Structure 1
Amino acid sequence: MAEIKMTFSNLEERHLSNCKNYKDEKVMYDKLISQFENVESFENLNRTSRNLHRLAEGHMEISHESMLLMGLSIDQLDKTQSRLDKTDLDLKETKADLKETKDKLDKTELDLKETKADLKETKADLKETKDKLDKTELELKETKADLKETKADLKETKADSKETKNRLELYLNNTTNILNETKERLGNELSEMKTELKKTQDELKDTKAMTKLLSVHRDWIGIFNRKLKMKLGEDVFNEIKEAMDDARTYQTDITQCSCVKKLEEILEKVGMSFKDFKLLFETKQLSNKKFHKSPDQTIKDAKEQLLRDSFPEEQKNLVTSLTKLFNALEIWDPRH
């Protein structure tokens, strides 16, 4: 703008005397300059510059330098117009970007509203969580107090356990001593039982042998006694049996009895002695003892056994009858 004003000033000074209608053209120049100074856009400026250029060509003699300067000004205005067009395009793009940005901002505002609502809900959740935490903290305090009390109880229980342990150890020691004593006593009893068992086994072995002997020969002894009874006579044989019973019961010597003398006379004829007869008689009695009631049982023993033994209810009358039988035998033979 300053260069253009300077150009018009130079033109005015150089061509002042050559222009016949200088005043009129001066008014036109001033008007153009005024338009140039008050242009509202670069398009008006461009148009004014071109009018000024035509005016100068038609009415003034302009130097080559001035023409070049005006041409450069017009080129500069063209470049400026191009930049303005580009700027206008950039403004349109910027406007589109601004619209897109506005849409994004609107969406962001909506997201912010939703986020605000979420934050409000989260705040409520946080408050609820805080209340729960406060409640949990209170419960933890109560639990801590309970644990402290439990710890005290455990300490007391530990002391009781120690005392109980000492008692158990003492009880265990006493029990061990008792078990050792019991073991020793049972060992002794077992040893005695083994000894008794061996004795019983030996007796059973002897009894088995005797039982076998009696089962085989007792009948022959009975036959022998019947034959002897026929030779001696029933009365003498019964006297011998009664004498043998008395000798066993009262430990008396019966060798001088007349019935025994008669027995010896008969036995000598077959090579036997009274000692042989006595052994056979006792063997027969042993056989009766094994397989029948014992013949050397006294009336008193029989009565006591009758009272000790248990009988079925239907045999109570038999017990009474047996008691009467023993009483009669005591009357007939007081020695029993």
Structure 2
Amino acid sequence: MICPHCQENVLYKERPSYTCSKCHKAFALEPRANSLRLHDARFLRVATKLTDNGRMKITESQLWFALSRKTLHSVRGPGSGVPSAIGCVAFGLPVGGGLGVAGVAIGGEGYILTALGALLVVGAFIAAVGNVRDGRKRYDTLPLSPFREQAMARWKFAYGELPPGVVDDATLRRTPRPERPRAALLCADLAVASFLAANDIPARYGVEIATTVQALPNDVPVVVLHDAGAIGSVQVLAVRDALPGRRVVDAGLRPRVVMHAPGAVVAHGTAPEPGAIRRLRAAGTLTSEELMWLLDGWWSPLVGARPATLLKAVSAVLERVTDPGGDPDRRKAEALGFLTWPDAGRA
């Protein structure tokens, strides 16, 4: 390992107790002590690239997906022409499971999404992945909680703070709300909501970000940001039922964007309730192929999308929603959802 302080090559026996024997300075990450084989130089290099040298904020969860990219295993969803297996494909920079720390309960529909459930799903899906078919050695990736304990906590212990531009997943809870919001953004994933809050979305667009329907402000348009999955897709319909007469914009990740894209993370889980699929079919916003993809249990989490692409996409939607003189053609397109994510295939 190259010592992050003196830049000398230090053998394992020469770096006991997370300390370089040549410069006698402590470092944060021991490659042999974590399954991602992380060391300080790579950790900082990835964080610096994702944050554009600290100019953009990202959350711990987003950094985890980026650091995990090489340990995640490639698969395709149904109909891709590639043999299916449990795993994921990096969504440009990695996009993996973990839907955030906050749960969402939508009206009386009972669609409840909790961080614990999401993290368990992701942990199970990653843990189940075997070696890649080409025989190359791959390591299991760290579940999110151990990652924080083994990497984030170690980094803060060694350097006193996270790398520039990296914030914790609960940043939203410390973000001031606009006094008179022009719109609201509903995002059940606290990590994504915190990412948007840390990048001044509330102040730039006069938008209040909430993780539950109950926390939304009254009498303003609502933008719903969700995963490409059955739960997220149904969530939009449930919000419209819970808020009759309100303008509700579907700004979520669409299945068609990720189901065949070589740069999309897809996870395979439990098949959704048939009632959810029937409701989505009746709504008419998804194709038959998308519905079959969802019915097979595939989904793609929002938190793993490339941060820069996600921020650009959400900003574009909010610019339209908060513009009182918006283009009527764009308003019409909102009824079909946010169909085009910039550079989605290359993100």
Q: TM-score, normalised by structure 1?
A: 0.15
Q: Rg: which structure is higher?
A: 1
RCO greater where, 1 or 2, for CA within 8 Å and sep 6 or more? Answer: 2
Q: Which has the higher strand share?
A: 2
Q: TM-score, normalised by structure 2?
A: 0.15
